[in-house]
């Protein structure tokens, strides 16, 4: 009797504060910890004020355009080590304050043109350890503030120079462990890298 009442009270408190059952929410740090929970989709009913969302080490396979409409203030989003194979166009467009996006260790093969549009504060984009075979000409509108781009451990054979030139604030680029084709297609990347190194 008393135990059931206690559980009911806890459940009511969780719902009142907008924290999903499989997550832990910390109001002071504005963090939702949903990692290692066996989730297959982005949880709903998250507190709208959270700024850090930890979703790593789950089985999430899909991100839709509406996945983050309820959490517009996110600054850090960690989706590493999931099963995401594709990203819907505009999947992140509601996150205009996002600064760090970690998509390491998923199953992504393609990045569509302008996938990361409307993220004016994005500084770090980590696409490491996927199966990406090509990148688009542009990551998206308003992505010029990116300072770190990691595409290491993928299946890239080439990269358009245009994409990199649209990221004027890049400080760190991680390219290693890709099967780059050393032919005329890589010449633009070579020229960009020389310019990048020359700028220090």
Q: What is the pLDDT of residues 84-120, one digit of tens each?
A: 998 887 889 899 999 999 999 999 999 998 899 999 9
Res 4 pLDDT > 70: no
Q: Which fold has domain 19-199?
A: 3.80.10
Q: What is the pLDDT of residues 155-171, one digit of tens each?
A: 999 888 899 999 999 99
Greatest CA span in the chain, whole angstroms? 75
| DSSP notation for 140-182 | -TT-TT--EEE--SS--S---HHHHHT-TT--EEE--S-----
Q: What is the pLDDT of residues 46-76, one digit of tens each?
A: 999 999 999 999 999 999 888 999 999 999 9
What average pLDDT does this structure show over 183-189?
A: 82
Query: 0.85 cut: is pTM over it?
Result: yes
**Encoded tokens for 68:** 């983050």
Distance, CA of 196 to CA of 170 (rounded, Å): 9
**Residue 188 pLDDT class (50, 70, 90 cuts):** confident
Radius of gyration of the chain (CA): 19
Q: What pLDDT is stored for residue 89 in this prediction?
A: 79
Q: How far is CA 11 from CA 4, 26, 43, 95, in A?
A: 11, 16, 16, 29
Hey, what long-range contacts does 18-21 have (CB within 8 A, 24 or more apart)? 18/45, 18/46, 18/47, 18/48, 19/45, 19/46, 19/47, 20/44, 20/45, 20/46
| Annotated domain spans of the chain | 19-199
Distance, CA of 54 to CA of 114 (rounded, Å): 24
The residue among 35, 113, 32 whose CA lies nearest residue 68 is 32
Q: What is the pLDDT of residues 12-47, one digit of tens each?
A: 344 445 799 999 999 999 999 999 999 999 999 999
């Amino acid at each position: 009797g008393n135990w059931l009442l206690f559980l009911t009270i806890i459940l009511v408190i969780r719902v009142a504060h907008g924290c999903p059952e499989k997550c832990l929410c910390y109001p002071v740090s504005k963090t939702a910890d949903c990692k290692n929970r066996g989730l297959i989709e982005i949880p709903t009913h998250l507190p709208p004020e959270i700024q850090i969302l930890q979703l790593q080490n789950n089985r999430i396979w899909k991100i839709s355009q509406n996945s983050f409409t309820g959490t517009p203030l996110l600054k850090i989003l960690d989706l590493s080590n999931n099963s995401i194979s594709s990203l819907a166009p505009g999947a992140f467009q509601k996150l205009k304050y996002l600064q760090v996006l970690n998509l390491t260790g998923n199953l992504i093969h393609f990045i569509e043109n302008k996938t990361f549009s409307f993220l004016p504060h994005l500084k770090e984009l980590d696409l490491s350890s996927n199966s990406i075979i090509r990148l688009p000409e542009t990551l998206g509108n308003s992505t010029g503030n990116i300072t770190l781009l990691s595409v290491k451990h993928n299946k890239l054979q080439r990269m358009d120079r245009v994409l990199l030139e649209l990221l004027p604030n890049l400080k760190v680029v991680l390219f290693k462990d890709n099967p780059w084709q050393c032919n005329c297609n890589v010449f633009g990347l070579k020229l960009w890298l020389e310019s990048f190194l020359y700028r220090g």
